Amino acid sequence: MTMPTQNIISPPNTRFEPLLLRHPANPILTSKDWPYSINSVFNAGATLLSDGTTLLLCRVEDRRGLSHLCAARSRNGVDGWEIDSEPTLMPSPKEFPEEIWGIEDPRITFAPELRQYVVIYTSYSRGGPGVSLALTKDFRTFERYGVIMPPDDKDSALLPRRIDGYWALIHRPMTTLGSHMWISYSPDLRHWGRHRLMLEARRGAWWDANKIGMSPPPIETSRGWLVLYHGVRHTPSGCLYRLGVALFELENPEKCLLRGDSWIFGPEAEYERHGDVDDVVFPCGYTMDADGDTLNIYYGAADCAIALARASVRSLLSWLDANASCERRQRAQDL
Ligand code: BMA
């Protein structure tokens, strides 16, 4: 087989602009801030409540190694956090056996049609990690639907509105052929089908080879769904978690329009490089400022702390326009 000449890739010709800017107060939340005894806090879902309060639904790991979720609220999204005095959502293995080893990595989507927040989280079962769903109006009481995607599956979030009459869920099943992002559809949030491959992990030496997963829920822009995703690189000294960006068609979200070649954010700061798991940046949530452009991206740092980085949707889109050559080449080959 001859390799297509387009696969001989020239290095990016643009300079690396910092697209995500770390907040000087980082890390903004650690185990020391917690009102009860924990091992670590990281990977938080995020949303704005109706009064403008930022709510983080944090993954908290106890000293058995099991995780639960705990809400933290702040007026400015940076400091002055009011943390629930006890766990907000605990695993409930009696009713939901798939939660026996904890619940992790929540992603929050406000669905105007339901007038509720939809929380999608990883339930750690004896069969491996699966995807579970719960609804809430206030992050105090929750209606649990249980597991909606069986193991091994994680890194999942719901789109905020129906596409062509169906709810759409992005998730990351693991297969022996690689861990890629898929999208599935449902009429009622309980029954899921029409499973489609949405974005493939690349292969070989790429930063996002073999294993990728959605990071925060997709961001709706006039040009499409902006998706930040993580790529996992296995190295002799462990895994490196970095962040990339791609754009998908608004009414057909399984269609990738642009995909950046390089990662846009990776572990550099001390609190990202060293922790319980070194070299991890892992965003699970964002909030949008009133300007409709500034994103506050909340990310887990080294599985030990929560940090904040800011980005502009406009800059991410212009960066994609300048740096998404590879996906264009791939699409050209497909034609
Ligand atoms: C992933 C997830 C995350 C975690 C990351 C690094 O597979 O389990 O929760 O932050 O690994 O350990």
pLDDT tens digits along 127-172: 999 999 999 999 999 999 999 999 999 999 999 999 999 999 999 9
Q: Is the CB of 174 under 6 A from ligand 1?
A: no
**CB-facing half-sphere around the CA of 42: CA atoms within 13 A:** 22
Q: List all residues 6 or more positions away from 219 whose beta carbon is below 8 Å from its beta carbon.
A: 225, 226, 227, 228, 286, 288, 295, 313
Q: What is the pLDDT of residue 165?
A: 98
Digit-coded pLDDT (tens) for 86-114: 999 999 999 999 999 999 999 999 999 99
Question: Which of 174, 303, 306 for mutating ligand 1's site (highest number of atoms within 8 Å of CB)?
Answer: 303
**Contacts for 230 with CB less than 8 Å, ≥ 6 apart:** 155, 212, 213, 215, 241, 242, 243, 244, 281, 282, 283
Our answer on whether the CB atom of 300 is closer than 6 Å to any ligand 1 atom is: yes
Closest approach atom of ligand 1 to CA 300: 10
Q: On the CB side of 236, how many CA atoms lie within 13 Å of its CA?
A: 0
Q: What is the pLDDT of residue 7?
A: 46
Please state, for a pLDDT cut of 90, what percent of the chain lies above it: 89
* DSSP, residue by residue, 44-60: EEEEE-TTS-EEEEEEE
Q: What is the pLDDT of residue 324?
A: 86
CA gap 248, 327 in Å, rounded: 12
pLDDT of residue 6: 44
The vertex-71 CA angle with 67 and 72, nearest 5°, equals 125
Distance CA 298, CA 243 (A): 13
Structure tokens at 292: 């409709």
Contact 273, 311 (CB under 8 A): no
Cα 268 to ligand 1 centroid, rounded to whole Å:
17
